[in-house]
Amino acid sequence: MHHVQREQRTFLRLVTLAAILVALVLVPLMLSSELRLSTGHRLALVPDDAERLFGEDDRVELVVLVRETPNPFSGPSREYTAAYAAEWLGEQIRLHDLATGEELVLPLRRYDLISGAADLSALLFVDEQAPGGRAAVLVTRATGEVRVLGPGEREPAIPGRWDEEISFGNIGCSGVSPGKARVACIEHGGSRLVFGDWELSSHPFGRSDQRAPLYRGRGSDPVVGWSPDGTSVYFQNEFGLWRSDLDGE
């Protein structure tokens, strides 16, 4: 009889210990979305095919240019091109050209607006709160020329939408690459409540049935843009800026 009771007590202790160990593992996973997502990435339960270029503590903004072009299957398409990563450094802004790898320095502390020429060949970065009054810098994309607009010069003598913001990239499921080779898509649902909040995928233009997952992320939906040649997709939210290369798809 005593032998049976000892075995029962031992069994209960083992069950209790196992429950404690399970709780020690599951409770942090339940409480921390970051831990859940990193676990999903490590165990290959969700896609993680991307390289983080900047972290959440970096003051950087992905500059995405959007162009409407005819679509043979429906209405006009919007092509999203990631032009620059704009790094705010306090006394100046460094533009990382995502097509060439070159760096441009803008003599601005900040900017409120990015507007552009009609053909997006030039961009105007405007700081409405500069210490000496409004400051604006024109960047010619092809040459990398940086020109500070003079006093009283509100816009360059180039046709464009100089009072309209042109940098955005909330794509939904219609983020077309330049040249209409591929489409990027932000999706929700599935296991998002367990691992992350959204998933970035891509598919050939006109073939949504061939969708390939690229990255599962958390937080707000990212701003998304393609490299000019359509082989990489850049995306950014409050947790960082990433690049995913599609060469191997």
Amino acid at 45: L
Whether the predicted pLDDT of 186 surpasses 70: yes
Q: What's the whole-number mean pLDDT along residues 24-41?
A: 62
Q: What's the whole-number mean pLDDT along residues 161-174?
A: 82
Tens digit of pLDDT for each residue in 208-249? 889 899 999 989 999 999 999 999 999 999 999 999 998 655
Identify whether the C-beta of residue 112 lies closer than 8 Å to the C-beta of residue 125.
Answer: no
- Torsion angle, alpha carbons of 49, 55, 56, 58, to 10: -150
What pTM was estimated for this model as a whole?
A: 0.82
Whether the predicted pLDDT of 5 surpasses 80: no
Average pLDDT, the chain: 84
Q: What is the pLDDT of residue 27?
A: 44
Cα–Cα distance measured from residue 183 to residue 176, given in angstroms and rounded to the nearest whole number = 4
Q: What is the pLDDT of residue 6?
A: 54
Identify whether the C-beta of residue 85 lies closer than 8 Å to the C-beta of residue 64.
Answer: no
Amino acid at 58: D
Whether the predicted pLDDT of 25 surpasses 50: no
Categorise residue 28: left if φ over 0, alpha if ψ from -120 to 50, beta otherwise: alpha
Q: Give the list of residues 6+ apart from residue 111 with CB closer than 8 angstroms, or none.
A: 86, 93, 125, 126, 127
Tens digit of pLDDT for each residue in 51-106? 999 999 999 999 999 988 877 767 778 899 999 999 999 999 999 999 999 999 99
Cα–Cα distance measured from residue 130 to residue 168, given in angstroms and rounded to the nearest whole number = 23
Q: Identify the burial level of 187 via C-beta atoms within 10 angstroms of its C-beta, where 0-12 means exposed, 13-18 middle and 19 or more buried.
A: middle
Q: What is the pLDDT of residue 46?
A: 84
DSSP state string for 176-238: EPTTSSEEEEEE--TTTTTS-SEEEEEEETT-GGG-EEEEEE-SSPPEEEE-TTSSEEEEEET
